[in-house]
């Protein structure tokens, strides 16, 4: 009986998750495109991997993805934590309203959010208008080599910070009030209590948020696809976008498969770190 | 840490002289030390900074969305004006009408629903079924199989996309609902979450039902399912939002305009009408509206869902 229950699900995971990954490995050793027939694709060993590692664009998109991930994760985690703490300790009466307001961007459709920010960052858009009051600009955000990536990062922080904030709010709820009270009686100030007691106590959840945000950031695609299309030049092209383009625009599927294998290894690596930190207690 | 502040406390204490008051005052005083302590001026500046920060972030979160709405009700020639008008004097809902005529927008919404609803239901169904077996049945290799299923969480679509595309296209599924639905039937996360929940159901309940002669199907549908409704609700929200946003896979398997889902339609919309921001914003508002209404009514569930499941959208 239990196999009747289990079988469809296992079949699904096998067919649509594990088989394709194994196949990605397999395909990455062949030189081919969709246009060549299955028989006509020669085995080329590691040459797809060598091609990629020699490809300057691959290096560039990898760097862009890491750069994006660093700032997007740092921004969402630090700001989420600070905001959660402000709403929790400094003005708890604003907590519910603040939580609701900050969460609205999270429920916004990502494509719509990206279109919106593209509009805000236009040279005649709202952001340049607001900056002009401070005597700044105009900046050509999305077509500028220097500012395009920061613009994408700002948009991502806007979209995600409410999410990390909500997680930190629930984490702060679990910090035992007695500890803080005891520290207060000992004469610790608000900031000291936050720094020396709250932060160490929520360190595990913080690590978890960081790792999960890194894994999510590695896969950034929609924002750049819509806001900049990877440009100007390749300054905002990301790894996922490059895999997509290699595979489905240039039909160089061997190269795309090899890149997705490399991305898989990176994600595997992050997951292993996560397991090391959290053992078997949490599997996200 | 101004001495003035402390003296103030001491004085009141001396005047009143209650023991209980003393503890209160000490606590109050210590609360005011550190971050919000210092002289009156410094303290005021700090609280201005704190509240200023909060106000800044609330504006940061809301202004873009307000701007989206304000843009969507402007007439076309006003959108490209600089400096921009904040609230248009000739506000119009014309863009909201025009959107439906410029692209098959209604069709996009239907396609999105045709993908999202079956996928969400299937996710719950298969997730609960597998979660039930993995938590309440014992057989050799169970935990190993569970770990393997769970490891599918490390396999986002981009890693599988090329073989999956070849597979789906060899079945002739390009531009069909099959391609949108079948590869997303359930997730390792749903299995994990629902297993965690079903584990908390006491075994005695299931044993009792078995003694009464209930079949596995009956136990699953009449005992297990009703008891995990909160988890199912959280999972519904996650899955619905995830699928409503789903982009990369539809981008690859859908070429026909009439088969595009909402995010896809919205994204490719802009390629054709780059300057018509009032149209794009109107379309965006429409696309956000359903999720937003659900969010307003079920805000508690959204937030609790995140708390409940740890993390993961």
Q: Is the pLDDT of residue B36 over 70?
A: no
Residue window 113-152, chain B: list those with CB within 8 Å of chain A.
126, 129-130, 132-133, 137, 139, 145, 148-150, 152
pLDDT in the model for residue B5 = 43
Q: Give the CA distances from residue B295 to residues A53, A84, A103, B118, B303, in Å, rounded to whole numbers and listed in that order.
A: 45, 20, 9, 21, 10
Mean pLDDT, to the nearest integer, of B31-51?
67
Of B159, B248, B311, the CB nearest to A264: B159
pLDDT one-digit tens code per residue, B151-189: 888 888 999 999 999 899 989 999 999 999 999 999 998
**Cβ–Cβ contact A264 with B under 8 A:** yes
pLDDT one-digit tens code per residue, A160-214: 999 899 889 888 888 888 888 888 888 888 888 888 888 888 888 888 888 888 9
Q: Please state, in angstroms and rounded to a whole number, the distance separating the CA atoms of residues B10 and B25.
A: 9
Q: Is the pLDDT of residue A37 over 60?
A: no
Give percent of chain A with pLDDT exceeding 70.
94
Cβ density class B17-56: b for 16+ within 10 Å, e for less: eeeeeeeebeeebbbbbbbbbbeeeebeeeeeeeeeebee
Per the DSSP assignment, residues forming a β-bridge with A30 are A43
User: Under a CB-based contact definition with an 8 Å cutoff, are residues A254 and A51 in contact?
Assistant: no
Of A115, A190, A244, the CB nearest to B36: A190
Q: DSSP label at A43? A: B
Q: Please state, in angstroms and rounded to a whole number, the distance separating the CA atoms of residues A197 and A190.
A: 10
Q: Cβ B295–A104 below 8 Å, yes or no? A: yes
Place of tokens 């199907």: B217
For A30, phi then psi, to 5°, come to -120, 150
Q: Is the pLDDT of residue B64 over 60?
A: yes
pLDDT one-digit tens code per residue, B235-269: 888 888 889 999 999 999 998 888 999 999 888 77
Please choose, from the candidates B199, B181, B293, the residue with its C-alpha nearest in 3D space to the C-alpha of residue B239.
B181
Helix (H, G, I), strand (E, B) or coil at B230: helix
Contacts of A261 in chain B (CB under 8 A): 159
Grade residue A279 by pLDDT with cuts at 50, 70 and 90.
low
Q: Is the pLDDT of residue B83 over 90?
A: no
Distance from CA of A251 to the nearest CA of B (A): 10
pLDDT one-digit tens code per residue, A116-163: 999 999 888 889 889 888 988 788 888 889 899 999 999 999 999 998
Residue B205 structure tokens: 């309940």
For A112, phi then psi, to 5°, come to -65, -40
pLDDT one-digit tens code per residue, A216-238: 899 999 999 999 888 788 899 99
Q: DSSP label at A89? A: I
CA torsion sign for B137, B143, B144, B145 is positive
Grade residue A39 by pLDDT with cuts at 50, 70 and 90.
low
pLDDT one-digit tens code per residue, B269-298: 776 655 688 888 998 999 888 888 877 777
Q: Please state, in angstroms and rounded to a whole number, the distance separating the CA atoms of residues B26 and B21.
A: 9
Range among A49-58, A174-183, B304-313 with highest mean pLDDT value? A49-58
Grade residue A67 by pLDDT with cuts at 50, 70 and 90.
very high
Task: Name the average pLDDT for chain A.
Answer: 86
Give percent of chain B with pLDDT exceeding 90.
30
**Cβ–Cβ contact B305 with A under 8 A:** no
Distance from CA of B7 to the nearest CA of A (A): 16
Contacts of B135 in chain A (CB under 8 A): none
Residue A223 structure tokens: 């924002």
Of A86, A105, A184, the CB nearest to B61: A105
């Amino acid at each position: 009986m239990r196999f009747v229950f289990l079988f469809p699900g296992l079949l699904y995971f096998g067919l649509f998750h594990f088989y394709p990954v194994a196949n990605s490995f397999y395909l990455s050793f062949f030189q081919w495109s969709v246009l060549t027939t299955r028989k006509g694709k020669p085995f080329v060993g590691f040459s797809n991997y060598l091609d990629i590692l020699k490809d300057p664009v691959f290096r560039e998109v990898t760097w862009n993805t890491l750069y994006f991930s660093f700032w997007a994760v740092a921004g969402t985690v630090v700001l989420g934590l600070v905001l959660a703490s402000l709403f929790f300790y400094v003005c708890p009466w604003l907590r519910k309203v603040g939580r609701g307001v900050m969460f609205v961007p999270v429920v916004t459709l990502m494509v719509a959010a990206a279109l919106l920010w593209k509009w805000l960052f236009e040279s005649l858009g709202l952001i340049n208008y607001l900056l002009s009051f401070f005597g700044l600009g105009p900046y050509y955000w999305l077509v500028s080599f220097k500012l395009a990536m920061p613009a994408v990062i700002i948009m991502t922080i806007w979209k995600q910070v409410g999410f990390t904030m909500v997680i930190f709010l629930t984490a702060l709820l679990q910090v035992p009030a007695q500890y803080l009270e005891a520290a207060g009686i000992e004469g610790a100030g608000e900031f000291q209590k936050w720094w020396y007691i709250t932060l160490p106590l929520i360190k595990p959840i913080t690590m978890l948020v960081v790792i999960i945000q890194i894994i999510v950031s590695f896969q950034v695609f929609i924002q750049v696809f819509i806001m900049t299309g990877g440009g100007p030049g390749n300054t905002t092209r990301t790894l996922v976008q490059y895999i997509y383009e290699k595979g489905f625009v240039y039909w160089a599927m061997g190269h795309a498969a090899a890149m997705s294998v490399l991305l898989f290894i990176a994600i595997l690596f992050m997951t292993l770190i996560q397991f090391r930190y959290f053992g078997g207690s949490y599997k996200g | 840490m101004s001495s003035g502040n402390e003296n103030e406390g001491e004085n009141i204490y001396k005047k009143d002289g209650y023991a209980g008051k003393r503890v209160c005052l000490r606590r109050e005083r210590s609360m005011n030390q550190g971050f919000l302590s210092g002289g009156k001026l410094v303290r005021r500046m700090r609280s201005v900074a704190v509240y200023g920060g909060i106000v800044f972030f609330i504006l940061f979160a809301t202004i873009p969305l307000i701007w989206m709405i304000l843009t969507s009700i402007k007439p076309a020639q006003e959108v490209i004006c600089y400096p921009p008008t904040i609230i248009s004097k000739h506000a119009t809902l014309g863009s909201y009408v025009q959107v439906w005529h410029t692209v098959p927008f209604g069709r996009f919404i239907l396609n999105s629903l045709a993908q999202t609803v079956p996928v969400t239901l299937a996710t719950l169904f298969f997730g609960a079924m597998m979660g039930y077996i993995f938590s309440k049945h014992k057989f050799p290799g169970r935990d190993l199989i569970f770990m393997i299923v769970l490891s599918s969480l490390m396999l986002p679509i981009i890693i599988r996309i090329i073989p999956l595309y070849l597979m789906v296209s060899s079945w002739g599924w390009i531009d069909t609902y099959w391609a949108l639905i079948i590869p997303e039937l359930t997730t390792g996360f749903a299995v994990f979450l629902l297993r965690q929940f079903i584990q908390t159901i006491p075994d005695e309940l299931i044993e009792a039902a078995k003694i009464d002669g209930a079949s596995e199907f009956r136990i699953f549908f009449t005992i297990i399912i009703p008891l995990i409704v909160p988890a199912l609700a959280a999972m519904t929200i996650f899955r619905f939002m995830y699928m409503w946003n789903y982009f990369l896979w539809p981008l690859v398997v859908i070429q026909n305009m009439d088969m595009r889902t909402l995010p896809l339609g919205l994204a490719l919309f802009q390629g054709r009408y780059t300057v018509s921001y009032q149209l794009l914003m109107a379309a965006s508002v429409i696309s956000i509206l359903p999720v937003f209404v659900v969010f307003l009514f079920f805000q508690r569930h959204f937030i609790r869902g995140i708390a409940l499941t740890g993390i993961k959208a």
